[in-house]
Amino acid sequence: MEILKFDPIFKSVIWGGKRIAEYKGIASQGDHIGESWELSPMKGHESVVSQGTYKGATLPSLIAEHGNEIMGERLMKKYDGKFPLLVKLIDSSDDLSVQVHPDDALAAKRHDSLGKTEMWYSIAPAEGAYLYAGFSKHIDAAEFRRQVAENEIIPSLHKYFTNAGDVFFLPAGRVHSIGRGNFVLEIQEASDITYRIYDYDRRDAQGNPRQLHVEESVDAIDFDDTVDLPAQNELGVVGELRTLADCSYFKTEVARVDGAMTVALAARDSFTILVATAGELTVKSADGEISLRQGETALVPASTAEITVEGKGTFVSTFIP
């Protein structure tokens, strides 16, 4: 089966900016585009194939018809025929809310959904860009409620200033926030469940405060999550896949290409998602080839045993181990 490319889904939000379109080299999509959903199975926001034999088909419809080819039998059984990941580009021209995501068990109980473990790969942070991940000190639920009510939660979070290539792994239960000036690739479980904890008292277009989910978040938060985990600065090595994150939900790697490199995929027993984070690449398989420019994403079916990536640039690869 041929390698698949999809139309991005652009999301306008109050904290978004203009950098996603600039990064992709396309016409402006608006002044407040905070997210580009690069690959999405989410209901109402399904990715649509942009070219080739299956142009116009949605990702869920392709899985329904060609699931074993795209996902492989192992993952079709594991995820009951549903595509398990969501991939986004995020541009934060302002601070995102402080938030947390539930794990699989709590999300299933409350929302009949997957939980949300995710990772960020920093692509092009502005000078002084920062983010928050995890607690800087131990607090209990009562102290957490007090700090949120009195606008004092920010000092209790680890603050990191970001560099290009930094990696942040965010297991479900880790309180976090992307600060202004970041431009990241986000890879996550296919879930849109977010508990908003604190939002700097911002108002929506009607002047109303944005909804918070403080009580819902208490059961989701890992209050013992106080480990100061240093970010990894990894921009890739020419011709070599380097691991960025490795968990049961996804394994993510990065590589730089200057010429050509071959990537064996058969042993993965999984689809592979490719995101070009810099340059211009050509991805070839036994079933054809595609171009992959900076900011574009492709889905390599599980039935593909090997690909060759040619050109000059950097790509991030994700699959499910």
Q: Which SS3 state, helix, strand or coil, does residue 307 take?
A: strand
Please check whether residue 115 is in contact with residue 172, taking contact to mean a CB–CB distance below 8 angstroms. Answer: yes
Strand partners, 260: 310
Query: Which distant-in-sequence residues (6+ apart) come within 8 Å of 89 by Cβ?
Result: 8, 20, 23, 35, 36, 38, 123, 183, 184, 185, 186, 295
Helix (H) or strand (E) holding 142: helix 141-149
Catalytic, out of 145, 196, 242, 293: 196
Largest pairwise CA distance in the chain: 60
Rounded to 5 degrees, φ, ψ at 7 are -75, 135
Q: Which SS3 state, helix, strand or coil, does residue 117 take?
A: coil
The yes-or-no answer on residue 196 being catalytic is yes
Q: What separation in angstroms does the CA of 122 have from each of 81, 228, 316?
A: 31, 18, 12
Residues noted as catalytic: 196
